Structure 1
Amino acid sequence: MEAVRVGILADPAAPTEIARRLTDLSPFDGTEWDITVVSEPFTTGSEDVETAVGRLQQQARERTWDLVVGLTELPLPDSEGGYLLAQTDSTQRAAVLSLPALGGFRLHTRARHAVHSLVSEMADPDRNGERHVTIPHRRGHWRLLKGMVRANRPWLLVPGMKSALVAALATGAVATINSTVWVLAASLSWWRLVIATVVSIALVVAWLTIDGELWDHPDDDSAQARSRSRLYNASTVATLLAGVLICYVALFVVNLAWALFILDPDVMGGYVSTPLGYGDMFVLAWFVASAATVGGGLGSGLETDEAIRAAAYSKREQERRDRLA
């Protein structure tokens, strides 16, 4: 029996990486799938699923594929205000899968199972018509948001903030050996330190959003456009929070190691007129991390790094549209 020619058309970056791990998929009925992966930004807007399916069908005709599956990192809204996991057109043998709708964990495994199911369904001659696979409104939306944050890869914000990190490390190194900072740190209660942490991280996130022009605005006044913007902005803020928190923890660890290496609690206690121990080094490093985060993040310029811009879905979608144009 001749092998079924299957095309997987994937958006660039993470969807392409996932697609390339799916070339060994095989059916359970003894037939064979000849799978080809193509990386191309086939999505022009998450609000238009039919356009995405149409582009998949066009690619299938041009490349003589028997059926095609599109992998996108964009959310796919349906007509009822919810979001789709997948849309299948068995008649045209084309399907599109939204990877963020699979959630933020075990993405490769879930994508593998989903693609296998879609291909098996379209390859079955007894199945015809379109099918929409929606996600639950509340629990599904949280899973979708987690999937979008994972697709943004917040850990990649760290190299994109290297100037701010260098400035923060320098600020922290100087502040750690300042006796005035010792006095301030010794006088702060734990709840003040918590507030300082929250405020410092929030300020840097706000600065990144403003400086990078990452806030998405609706294209029009429709409910669908407003819902999409809210989702995009929520994923952007969550991604930036995760990335800045990673930087904050790294800064705290470095400051703590630096304080333990160069400072003597007895000497510090003499300046603040209070007996201090090594546990107070923890408080000092905590306070310095908050101060250095604000001073370094807001007092230095940020690189025009793709990692910063990639934190916003709207920026990546605009780039897709520009490439397709």
Structure 2
Amino acid sequence: MDETQPARQVSRDQPGDPRRPTLVGLLPAPEQPADIAESLAGQLPELLADYVDDRLAWDVQVVVDPLTGAMEDSDSIIDKTEAYKHQREWDYVICITDLPIYKERRYMVAEASMARCSAIVSLPAFGATGIRQRLRESILQLVNEMHHGSSEAARERQERRTEASDKVSDDLRGEGARRLMGHRLFESLIPIHRETPEHAEGNIDVRFVTRSRLGGSLRILSGMVRANRPWTVFPAFRSVIAVAFATGAYGLIFPTFWKLNDSYGGSRLVVLMLTAMIAMVIWIMLAHGLWEPLRKASSRHIARLYNMVTVLTLSTAVVFYYGVLYLLFLFAVYLFVPASLLSQNLGHAVGPANYLSLAWLASSLATLAGALGAGLEDDTTVLNATYGYRQRRRNKQMRQDDGD
């Protein structure tokens, strides 16, 4: 099919051809966006009939493509998305990217074009929780905007319709005709605003943004860390835990170590723990080349954002690692250090607090002395948890697909 040929348009006033369902295409990036889109595809046809137009039969198709996870420019993504719409003969298409979209010093959550019947959603802008539900509601709203129009009159009509409908969920009734998603505490604290540009900007008719720079940054950072799935990095720490535990366990048998711990206060133990964790994060980033150089980046702001998210992702994994190491040392201390012997060497009575602090000190020193010299189990696992590496991998895949 000629990609320049316009796809069939659905009338906003009359029901479509009953013999052919109205096709909505979802074009997610690989991994998390694709998993969520595929899980929602079966639910959406009935919801689209309830919320958008019950005179039509709806069908939802999902096509995973790396382009939606490799382009940072929303205009380019919309162009590629529209080409997919023509090729697949979709009536509406929504691109779901796991990249941040930064325009005019603000983070975009979603945009839609009535003329192109195309929309884009930036998944990280939803934050770290409730992503599946937020995406489902966003898809319904964007199709509603494209199907009925984004003018004030069109939104007023839809507001009255959703208010009167007993099929539309309570979260989306009434004002839901102007909201991207349902009303929740997180949306109250960091609201998403609806805008209709007075002058056409690349045929964008409506967009949803976070106006607060702090609020938008919090949404994006938490959403991007969630997209990195830091829990998938933790299994790569198995060899590190083994080396660190072996190093620390050896020190536990020496009375000098017990006396050193007894002389430390809580503040010193906290500083030592934070120093060990920070050193671990820095070592992983340097050893695996995870830092994005700003001078080579097309956008310095996005490169800084990637580096910050990588640090937060690794920090989360290191916290899990430290917690496991602490539990191992706590077990070892209770098993190998008798209370009578510990009390005799310290010269005073001992209790649970002494064992807790001893395991704490051992965890920090073992991380500094032993774990920094160990290699992670799987380099690819760590690299996959960073945006920069996934970008390069998807760009390479796109070039191969174009070559084929």
TM-score (norm. length: structure 2): 0.75
Percent identical: 32
- Structure 1 stretches of 4+ moved >4 Å: 125-129, 219-222
Match of 2:32 in 1: 14
Q: State the Cα distance separating 1:220 from its structure 2 match.
A: 5.5
Whole-Å separation in 2 of the counterparts to 1:192 and 1:106: 39
Are residues 1:71 and 2:96 paired?
A: yes
Q: State the Cα distance separating 1:8 from its structure 2 match.
A: 0.7
Match of 1:251 in 2: 325
Q: State the Cα distance separating 1:278 from its structure 2 match.
A: 2.6
3-state SS of 1:316 partner: helix
- Among residues 42, 48, 70, which one is paired with 2:67 in the alignment? 42
Q: State the Cα distance separating 1:41 from its structure 2 match.
A: 0.8
Whole-Å separation in 2 of the counterparts to 1:270 and 1:139: 55
Match of 2:83 in 1: 58
- The amino acid of 1:118's aligned partner reads L
- The amino acid of 2:312's aligned partner reads A
Say whether the 8 Å CA contact 1:218–1:228 is kept in structure 2.
no
- Among residues 353, 356, 359, which one is paired with 1:279 in the alignment? 353
Match of 1:82 in 2: 106
Q: 1:278 to 1:44 in 2, by over 3 A?
A: closer
Say whether the 8 Å CA contact 2:21–2:58 is kept in structure 1.
yes
- Among residues 138, 143, 146, which one is paired with 1:122 in the alignment? 146
Q: 1:304 to 1:68 in 2, by over 3 A?
A: same
- The amino acid of 1:260's aligned partner reads Y
Paired residue total? 322
Match of 1:189 in 2: 265
Are residues 1:212 and 2:288 paired?
A: yes
Give per-residue Cα distances to partners, 1:157-184, cap 9 Å, x unaligned. 1112222122112223323333222121
3-state SS of 1:43 partner: helix
Are residues 1:135 and 2:153 paired?
A: no
Whole-Å separation in 1 of the counterparts to 2:97 and 2:150: 27
Gaps of 5+ in 1: none
Whole-Å separation in 1 of the counterparts to 2:358 and 2:235: 26
Q: State the Cα distance separating 1:264 from its structure 2 match.
A: 1.3
Give per-residue Cα distances to partners, 1:83-139, cap 9 Å, x unaligned. 211121221111111000011111111111111211222233676952232222221
Say whether the 8 Å CA contact 1:160–1:306 is kept in structure 2.
no
- Among residues 223, 226, 238, which one is paired with 2:300 in the alignment? 226
Q: 1:187 to 1:201 in 2, by over 3 A?
A: same
Match of 1:109 in 2: 133
Greater CA deviation, 311-320 or 267-276?
Answer: 267-276
- The amino acid of 1:145's aligned partner reads L
Match of 1:172 in 2: 248
Q: Say which one has the larger Rg.
A: 2
Say whether the 8 Å CA contact 1:22–1:112 is kept in structure 2.
yes
Match of 1:242 in 2: 316
Are residues 1:316 and 2:390 paired?
A: yes
- The amino acid of 1:19's aligned partner reads A
Match of 1:4 in 2: 22
Whole-Å separation in 2 of the counterparts to 1:295 and 1:116: 54
Say whether the 8 Å CA contact 2:28–2:68 is kept in structure 1.
no
Say whether the 8 Å CA contact 1:46–1:77 is kept in structure 2.
no
Say whether the 8 Å CA contact 1:11–1:43 is kept in structure 2.
yes
Give per-residue Cα distances to partners, 1:268-296, cap 9 Å, x unaligned. 12223333223200000000111112233
Q: State the Cα distance separating 1:299 from its structure 2 match.
A: 1.4
Whole-Å separation in 2 of the counterparts to 1:68 and 1:36: 9
Gaps of 5+ in 2: 1-17, 152-199, 400-404
Are residues 1:263 and 2:337 paired?
A: yes
Whole-Å separation in 2 of the counterparts to 1:173 and 1:116: 56
Whole-Å separation in 2 of the counterparts to 1:126 and 1:158: 45
- The amino acid of 1:105's aligned partner reads T
Whole-Å separation in 2 of the counterparts to 1:126 and 1:198: 51
Q: 1:319 to 1:292 in 2, by over 3 A?
A: same
Whole-Å separation in 2 of the counterparts to 1:259 and 1:36: 57
**Larger relative CO (CA 8 A, sep 6+): 1 or 2?**
1
> What is the root-mean-square deviation of aligned Cα atoms in Å?
2.0
- The amino acid of 1:20's aligned partner reads E
Whole-Å separation in 2 of the counterparts to 1:73 and 1:93: 21
Give per-residue Cα distances to partners, 1:222-242, cap 9 Å, x unaligned. 7xx111111111111111111
3-state SS of 1:260 partner: helix
Whole-Å separation in 2 of the counterparts to 1:219 and 1:287: 40
Say whether the 8 Å CA contact 1:205–1:237 is kept in structure 2.
yes
TM-score (norm. length: structure 1): 0.93
